[in-house]
Structure 1
Amino acid sequence: MADVAEVIGRRGGSATFADLRAVVSGRAIRGALAAGVINRVAKGVYALPAAPSALTAARSQGGVVSHLSAAEHWGLGVITPPPLPHVTLRPGRVRRQAGLPCVLHWADVPALDDVTTPLRTVLDCLRILPPAEGLAIADSALRLGSVDHDELLAAATRLRGPHRLRIQRVVASADGRSESVLESVLRALLISRGIEGFVPQFVVRDAEFSARLDLGNPRLLLDLEADGFEFHGSRRALVKDCRRQANLTIRGWRVLRFSWEDIMYDPDWVIATIERAIGLPPLSNRLLHAA
């Protein structure tokens, strides 16, 4: 039984009957089932009780982990985790009624160990996600070195089907210097309004001080900070932030700090604040003037 569990564990927590029979006996498989060491999740598919749900669901359907579930697998910047695993089947395959619940897609896709490749994963996510969430995934894939920007641009150029142009625009804007999904979403807001000149992780440095800005505009001396609570929720972090802001201020920089709630739930206010800081009139006035 230990051998069966070990074999399944080496395969990520699930395996087909054929995979198991290549290295263990049918009697061992039946014994592991009877003892509750493994579970039968679909016809000919077995899994450890604590197996990753996405990989188990994919194997129970005869497909591969894809889209947001593959992004989670590769450690990319997923803003909203999927409530059900995403699985891609080869064209012509049908849903297995006995398989685990999942969101199914159909396509011929490149995969590694039953998960779509990082490049394919990014493109799949860009097709189904809003631009800001897609940009967060593309940025993180570049930052982690999971994909190469030139390779991603070339793959986006070759795309066919729905949302092709939107995907290409997001890929062209992707930047591996962004260090968090919140920075990516803030940058996506700027892009959506045509606001330029902000550089991800811009470095301010002199003989006495050095700091990296989430989004710095060196011409306007304006710093936009995307503040997640996990990095700013302690007394020590507060002291560090205060000193950092004071040092930037005496060097002529203005700092606008936006919380997760600001960026994710009140983007219009965020953009209006930034536009006011850079001297743009409200959008409604600009539209009226243009008309």
Structure 2
Amino acid sequence: MIDDYLRRHDGVITLAQAQQAGLSRYAVDRRVRTGHWRRCSPGVFFADDRPFSDAARIRAAVWGYGAQAVATGIAAAWWHELTRYAPPVVEVTVPKASHHPHRDGIRMRRRDLNPADVVEREGLRVTALALTVIEAAVRFRGGVVLMDSALQRHVELRDLWRAHLKNKGRHGSPAARRLLQAASDGARSEAERLFGKLLRDAGITGWRTNYPVGGYKVDVAFIDQKVAIEVDGWAFHSDAEVFVNDRTRQNAISLLGWKVLRFTWFDLTMHPQRVIAEIKYALSS
């Protein structure tokens, strides 16, 4: 029974779980003394006959803060398989009234989560999918891609808004609201407004918006240099028909001798300096 439990839980077990499975405290201590188990934190152990994987590290971190602890942020996103990369620092949320100490490799947050915002996956308590997406999206630089990918495959935009409004005031709430507004139906126009601001801030002039070229209208055109720039919103708004139409349009404009550059919301928000550099290069060449 113990071996089966360890196999299903990445080699991690708590003292309470071991006792429930029939081991005494003395038997647990003996396993630690003989090197079969390693103590990760008070009351949490790892069976040292296997690699200490990312899953084991996250599970041990959360279980080390008690039965009410929850994996949140990027740790929860990784557990939900929203990102391929496990975070080096595990975010764990505990109730406000708890008195747990801070530990290395763990970012502890004190907050009382709504029970509806907590789910159990493979025996670990994590934030529910919608709340995980909006919280993880503001925790690291790839958040735009994470949210866009989740909207394409896992969750509806209305669910993200619902989770956000139910948890206003949390860490990162204003940034999450801006991402959700950008991901709403006006995503493309919001991206175009942001792009215009980038051009003005960089002192780039001489451009026109919605300029007709070959029967199409390009988002931004530098007429003298024949440089056309197309600005995309979020991928989750797109479908196969839009993809085909965009490629047909781009090819037609290119055949008329225009250089065509495309930038996404991710480019504009995460790599604005690179965007400006590419535009300046296109205008000067």
What is the TM-score when the length of structure 1 is the normalising length?
Answer: 0.60
Decide which of 135, 138, 153 is 2:144's aligned counterpart. 135
Q: Is the 8 A contact 1:5 1:48 kept in 2?
A: no
Decide which of 130, 134, 148 is 1:119's aligned counterpart. 130
Kindly indicate whether residue 71 of structure 2 is the aligned counterpart of residue 65 of structure 1: yes
Kindly indicate whether residue 155 of structure 2 is the aligned counterpart of residue 153 of structure 1: no
Per the TM alignment, residue 88 of structure 1 is displaced from its structure 2 partner at its CA by 1.0
Report what 1:289 is aligned to. Answer: none
Separation of aligned partners in 2, 1:156 and 1:139: 16
Decide which of 100, 106, 110 is 1:106's aligned counterpart. 110
What is the TM-score when the length of structure 2 is the normalising length?
Answer: 0.61
RMSD in angstroms over aligned alpha carbons? 4.2
Separation of aligned partners in 1, 2:46 and 2:193: 45
Residue-by-residue CA offset, 1:134-174 (whole Å, 9 max, x unaligned): 322212222331x3221112222334216544322312333
Q: Which amino acid aligns with 1:92?
A: A
Separation of aligned partners in 2, 1:249 and 1:158: 48
Separation of aligned partners in 2, 1:44 and 1:23: 15
Per the TM alignment, residue 103 of structure 1 is displaced from its structure 2 partner at its CA by 0.9
Separation of aligned partners in 2, 1:7 and 1:156: 36
Quickly say closer, same or farther: Cα 1:55–1:267, change in 2 above 3 A.
same
Report what 1:168 is aligned to. Answer: 177
Separation of aligned partners in 2, 1:58 and 1:212: 46
Kindly indicate whether residue 89 of structure 2 is the aligned counterpart of residue 89 of structure 1: no
Q: Is the 8 A contact 2:32 2:39 kept in 1?
A: yes
Residue-by-residue CA offset, 1:264-283 (whole Å, 9 max, x unaligned): 98532314645997x9xxxx
Aligned residues: 226
Separation of aligned partners in 2, 1:169 and 1:266: 17
Report what 1:183 is aligned to. Answer: none
Separation of aligned partners in 1, 2:241 and 2:255: 12
Q: Which has the larger radius of gyration?
A: 2
Separation of aligned partners in 2, 1:81 and 1:271: 32
Quickly say closer, same or farther: Cα 1:43–1:191, change in 2 above 3 A.
farther
Which consecutive unaligned segments of at least 5 residues does structure 2 have? 198-218, 220-230
Report what 1:198 is aligned to. Answer: 232
Residue-by-residue CA offset, 1:246-267 (whole Å, 9 max, x unaligned): 8995699965478xxx989853
Report what 1:270 is aligned to. Answer: 275
Q: Which amino acid aligns with 1:105?
A: R
Which consecutive unaligned segments of at least 5 residues does structure 1 have? 176-186, 206-210, 223-245, 280-291
